[in-house]
Amino acid sequence: MSVKPPTRSVSGPEQPIRVMVVDDSAVIRGMIARWVGEAGPFEVVCTASNGRMAVDMAERHKPEIVLLDIEMPEVDGLAALPLLLKAHPASKVIVISTLTKRNAQVSLKCLSLGAVDYLAKPESARAADAAALFRRDLLEKLCALSAAKARQTPAAPATGVMSAPAAPAPSLRPGHVRPKCLLIGSSTGGPRAVERVLQDLGPTLTRIPVLIVQHMPPMFTAVFAEHLQTLLSLPCREAKDGDAIVAGTVLVAPGGRHMGVNAGSGNPAVRLNDDPPENFCRPAVDVLFREAASVFGASAVAVVLTGMGSDGTVGARHLVQAGATVMAQDEASSIVWGMPGSVVRAGLAHDVLPLDTIGQSLKSLIAGTSR
């Protein structure tokens, strides 16, 4: 998959996005800096070999994006993160770590402290194309954050320059069937958004099953599910093939596998498979939405939260055609308005809501008290 740099509707020369690379390996720093420099509207303004140096450089160079390794001497990424954000609050931090359970736990902790995304660093023992996949994922995330910044930056007045058209207002009416299953799809910025929605639902969670597809690598999804269980004091786990879909349980699609729904003999259950990626994703939100539409029909309610790309749009169409209700997070509260924006522009959202009101709206739907 090629990664196209975002375009900007501004007059005058384009200002590159300022990037800082923080890693204790000189080889890794050099490799990432080269990739970033070749990718488009990015400029590596500084590199650092540990967190202490990174904090000092952040104050002087004011990077817009920081690529922060977790495992470093002196001051590691977890300790450096809050100091970096204090030195330059406008920085968007992507944490990078090797794929271990401990690093997955630390990465999720970093997200709670203000990092916007995470990236699993390939290990030497992995497949030969691991570096190429890491590069692709890295540049996708950079371009998504850059595009989000471009949309938030007012365009300078210029003759003949057209601003991007506003997303259409929702024209669909929510269904009248009380939901029997909540579906959530998310990517960049998703873990914190998912947490907020589920926490806002509170005791209502005991009345409905929840199925989540969060774009995450293997191991991260299991740790994310464990984190949700601690947070919510409800059964939350990484889904297994054949798991019953029952009220009061939260199931997270495992990294590297699609999660769908099987009607079975009248008792819906999780169906996992290793089919090819969809939208370059596995798990894919489209798979969950599409299969849930065929099983739950109008009794499903889906929420598309912050994330890059368009995963979820095709599945949302299946849900809408089945009579289900689809909500999308609004642009202002999204880290990246790719997935929810795609659903909104396709005219498939019944409501487009700020993150802090989605939970309350879902509570009304589930209780049967919504409009």
Active site residue 215: yes
Which residue among the candidates 215, 258, 318, 350 is catalytic per the annotation?
215
Q: According to DSSP H, which parts of 118-189 are helical?
A: 130-152
Residue given tokens 């994922």 in the structure block: 137
Peptide bond preceding 268: is omega within 30 degrees of 0, i.e. cis? no
Q: What is the Cα–Cα distance from 371 to 167, expressed in whole angstroms? A: 23
In our burial notation (b when 16+ CB lie closer than 10 A, e otherwise), range 27-62 reads ebbebbbebbeebbbbebbbbbbbbbbbbebbeeee
Element (H, E) at 104: helix 101-112
Token pair belonging to 364: 């009304």
Burial group, residue 160, by CB count within 10 angstroms (0-12, 13-18, 19+): exposed
Asked whether 179 and 300 are in contact (CB, 8 A), the reply is yes
**Strand order of the sheet with strand 92-98?**
42-48, 17-22, 65-69, 92-98, 117-121
Full DSSP string of 303-371: EE-SBSS-TTHHHHHHHHHTT-EEEEE-TTT-S-BSHHHHHHHTT--SEEE-HHHHHHHHHHHHHT---
Active site residue 370: no
How many helices and strands (H and E) does the chain possess?
Answer: 11, 14
Active site residue 187: yes
Provide the 3-class DSSP secondary structure of residue 236. Answer: strand
CB atoms under 10 Å from CB of 15, counted, come to 12
Which residue among the candidates 187, 333, 342, 361 is catalytic per the annotation?
187
Residues with active-site annotation: 187, 215, 311
